[in-house]
Amino acid sequence: MESPAAQTLISVKRNGGIGMDAAIYGCPAEWTRLLPPGARRVRREEELTEHIWPLLALTPEGCRELAAAGGGIVCRLLLVPGELQALPAQVRAETVISYGLSPRDSLTLSSLTEPVLCVQRALPRPDGAAVDPQEFPLPPLPAPAEILLPLLGLRLLQMPLTEPPFLW
């Protein structure tokens, strides 16, 4: 009999990393309604270790909580704050995508007064496609764009490429 981790990996491979295979940790409850289809809010550290995540977003608060946690967290794509000095030791990712207000971040804002999400370099998606460098003018947002960056990144990488990712 296969271990739960091996069964999860088989499931992820079978599903191509799409579907209910994206998560955000450290997500405020009020963001739940804004999550893209196939993404969920993870509230407990233990839930992170029970799955191999094709896409996992960590908020700054989520990173602080994980700094003291144990267990192993595995994901293909990891969205993290660019100001993070180092990944929490228990997190392993194939690809790390940083978000923040620095020009070094892969996902940033080119304007704060009229928020524009800026993709600085090609970003892989869980479905195998990529988001090319470009800018996305954002509609009115329910909170400041700089606070919503992990959610915006999750939506950009998880929403079907045929749909606008930022319609609330």
> Which residue, among 78, 115, 120, has the nearest Cα to 95 in the 3D structure?
78
Residue with tokens 């509230």: 43
Checking if the pLDDT of 18 tops 70, the result is no
pLDDT greater than 50 at residue 9: no
Can you tell me the mean pLDDT for 60-88? 87
pLDDT digits (tens, 9 = 90+) for 112-168: 888 999 999 999 999 999 999 999 999 999 999 999 999 999 999 998 878 777 776
Indicate the burial class of 158 (C-beta count within 10 angstroms; 0-12, 13-18, 19 or more): buried
User: Whole-angstrom Cα distance, residue 53 to residue 19?
Assistant: 11
23-66 pLDDT, tens digit per residue, is: 999 999 999 999 998 899 999 988 898 889 999 999 999 998 88
> What is the reported pLDDT for 168?
62
Residue 68, class by beta-carbon neighbours within 10 Å (0-12 exposed, 13-18 middle, 19+ buried)? exposed
pLDDT of residue 71: 72
Q: Which residue has the higher pLDDT, 161 or 111?
A: 111
Task: Report d(CA 12, CA 152) in Å as an integer.
Answer: 23
DSSP β-bridge partners for residue 108: 118
Cα 6 to Cα 30: distance, rounded to the nearest angstrom = 33
3 state SS for 45-78: HHHHHCCEEEEEEECHHHHHHHCCCCCCEEEEEE
Query: How far, CA to CA in Å, does 124 sit from each of 7, 113, 127, 142?
Result: 24, 28, 8, 27
